[in-house]
Chain A
Amino acid sequence: MRRKPLPDDALDATDRKILNVLQEGFPIEPAPFEKAGAELGLSGAELIERILNLREIGAITRFGPFFDAAAMGGAFCLCAMEVPAARFEDVMTLVNAHTEVAHNYERDHRLNMWFVLADMAPEGIDRVADLIEGETGLRVLRFPKLEEFFIGFKVTA
């Protein structure tokens, strides 16, 4: 995934409109590009062409349904560890070796390693966290979500 901003001239006004409008939603009906395109002043084929280009230049990370991972039967837990600086790389290797570790970030805090455990079974979370504690001799703090709030996140292109 592209992590650097695009050059200023990479997007024209139509591209920006597409990004702003389609992040709100996309129709579920037989000819959705024609329908969505009509509202943007584009034919269905033109809209597809534009989206292909936006994907090509890295302006889009995803286009399609966003699934609720928990609804699909998965269990997740945010975990944190306080890793001594001298052991950081070794502990990272031990933690990352578990396929249940979906992503892992170093953060500038006493708790300096933060990762998400994902497993199809809820009991898998504690099993892997306990395993990591055994392997590293360090505590794995577990922060399962108690409540999730509706997200209003919107990027203005």
Chain B
Amino acid sequence: MTIDAIDKRLIGATQAGLPLTDEPYAAIAAQTGVSEAEVIERLRAMLARGVIRRVALAPNHYALGMVANGMSVWDVEDARATELGAQIGALEFVSHCYLRPRAEGWPYNLFAMIHGASRDEVEEKRREIAAILGPACRESDILYSTRILKKTGMRLKPES
């Protein structure tokens, strides 16, 4: 997934979001010195290659009442981890889903962030996941955050 200097310029110009004007891609074109047609073509190409995951609006889930979340972790049989991870990631209430290495004293390889309106709802969804994993899961836990200690965006600034 390679990106060139012009792609980087487009990333830099849209990282904060799309301009809210009738012709946002023309506005980006004017800002980056590339034609509107090329902006559109390149954004579509990056979308097709997965550099852009989607162009969309992200609702603030806290504002919409989903104020509880928990990091659920599962010790899933290796041979079935990819297949089952895909099923868990596709659930509407899971916002992140990864396979990660186990560590000493840490038997869990599947991580799934669960969101809900309350902790009870998160626990209920956790049971839904447990039912999907069935006997392929040996052990599980859930970690609730008690405090945000630091929150800064990813500071990746592709040079333009």
Contact = CB atoms under 8 A, between A and B. Distances in A.
Interface in A81-103: 92, 95-96, 99, 101-103
Interface string B53-74: 1111111111111110001000
Contacts of A99: 155
A71 B25 CA distance: 22
Contacts of B23: 30-31
A108 B146 contact: yes
Interface string B89-125: 1111111111111010110010100010000000000
B155 A68 contact: no
A48 B20 contact: yes
A41 B5 CA distance: 39
Nearest to B82: A147
A67 B53 contact: yes
Interface in B32-87: 36, 40, 43-44, 46-47, 49-67, 71, 81-82, 85-86
A68 B63 contact: no
B156 interface: yes
A154 B92 contact: yes
A156 B82 CA distance: 27
- Which of B59, B89, B99 has the largest number of chain A CB atoms within 10 A? B59
Interface string A40-69: 000011001001100001111111111111
B158 A149 contact: no
Contact of B89 (A57, A102, A107, A152): A152
B144 to A, nearest CB: 5
A147 B98 contact: yes
Contacts of B20: 48, 51-52, 63
B135 interface: no
A33 B1 CA distance: 29
Contacts of B50: 68, 71
A5 B65 contact: yes
On chain A, which size bracket covers the interface? 35 or more
B85 A149 contact: yes
Contacts of A60: 57-60
Nearest to B92: A154
Given A3-B67, A63-B18, A72-B156, A141 B59 contact: no
A62 B17 contact: yes
B89 A63 contact: no
A148 interface: yes
B14 A64 contact: yes
B155 A118 contact: yes
Interface of A: 1-6, 18-19, 22-34, 44-45, 48, 51-52, 57-69, 71-74, 76, 78, 80, 92, 95-96, 99, 101-111, 113-115, 118, 120, 141-157
Interface of B: 1, 3, 11, 14-18, 20-26, 36, 40, 43-44, 46-47, 49-67, 71, 81-82, 85-86, 88-101, 103, 105-106, 109, 111, 115, 141, 143-156, 158
